[in-house]
């Protein structure tokens, strides 16, 4: 399964984020959701970001522990029992769909783990609960490649804000 994201359909309701964290963590915790919804202050741009997955899958090659693999449903998954939390996969992902979290008792070393969408084993909650069809399943890798580039381009303003925030925090 491949995801297609339609940012113009996203209202920023966060139903996808809530249900994702509930399905994976047993409670509502947006930080532990496998999908993120970025939005500008004005809410003029609202962008759901989730692993589509992309054609190259650089996260798989970046993982020195072999904790990341391709599941039968088409999802790229992280085996938490093998993940050391090195975050190389986070840096390898071109759209920021993988997130590093310090979580006691999680991961190979029991201190940290990387989290990403596993497509809920082939029945993704985000698609089921999105009231406006902003997230859809498609079969075409060409559609996924186009979505990947669209998300990468749309994320540039958010990355620029993060860079300016980092430079403001650094002492002169």
Does residue 168 belong to any structural domain of this protein?
Answer: no
Asked if the model's pLDDT at residue 171 lies above 60, the reply is no
- Residue 126 is predicted with a pLDDT of 95
Identify whether 169 is part of a domain.
no
Taking only the tens place, the pLDDT of each residue in 114-128 is 999 999 988 999 999
Whether 172 maps to a domain, the answer reads no
**Domain-located, residue 36:** yes
Phi, psi (rounded to 5 degrees) for 16: -60, -40
Q: For residue 63, is it within any domain?
A: yes
pLDDT tens string 70-110:
998 889 999 999 999 999 999 999 899 999 999 999 999 99
pLDDT tens for 1-50 read: 888 888 889 999 999 999 999 999 999 999 999 999 988 887 777 889 99
Q: Is residue 133 part of a domain?
A: yes
Predicted local confidence at residue 106, as pLDDT? 93
Length of the chain: 172
Q: Domain of 44?
A: 2-163
* Coil, strand or helix at 38: strand
Asked if residue 156 is part of any domain, the answer here is: yes
pTM equals 0.81
The four Cα atoms 125, 131, 134, 137 give a dihedral, to 10 degrees, of: 40
> How many domains in the chain?
1
Whether 165 shows a pLDDT value over 60: the answer reads no
Nearest to 54 by CA among 144, 155, 143: 144
Residue 85 lies in a domain: yes
Q: How many helices (H) and strands (E) does the chain have?
A: 5, 8
Q: Which of 118, 22, 51 is nearest to 79 (CA)?
A: 118
Q: Which of the four pLDDT bands, split at 50, 70 and 90, describes residue 138?
A: confident
């Amino acid at each position: 399964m491949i995801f297609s994201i339609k940012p113009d359909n996203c209202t920023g309701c966060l139903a996808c984020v809530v249900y994702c964290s509930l399905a994976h963590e047993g409670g509502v915790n947006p930080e532990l959701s496998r999908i993120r919804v970025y939005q500008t202050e004005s809410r003029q741009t609202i962008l759901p970001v989730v692993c589509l997955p992309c054609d190259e899958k650089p996260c798989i090659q970046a993982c020195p522990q072999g904790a990341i693999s391709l599941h039968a449903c088409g999802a790229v998954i992280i085996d938490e029992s093998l993940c050391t939390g090195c975050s190389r996969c986070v840096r390898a992902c071109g759209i920021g769909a993988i997130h590093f979290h310090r979580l006691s008792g999680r991961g190979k070393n029991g201190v940290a783990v990387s989290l990403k969408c596993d497509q809920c084993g082939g029945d993704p909650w985000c698609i089921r609960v999105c009231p406006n069809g902003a997230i859809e399943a498609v079969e075409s890798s060409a559609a996924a490649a186009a979505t990947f580039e669209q998300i990468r381009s749309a994320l540039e303003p958010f990355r620029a804000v993060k860079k300016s925030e980092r430079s403001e925090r650094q002492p002169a």
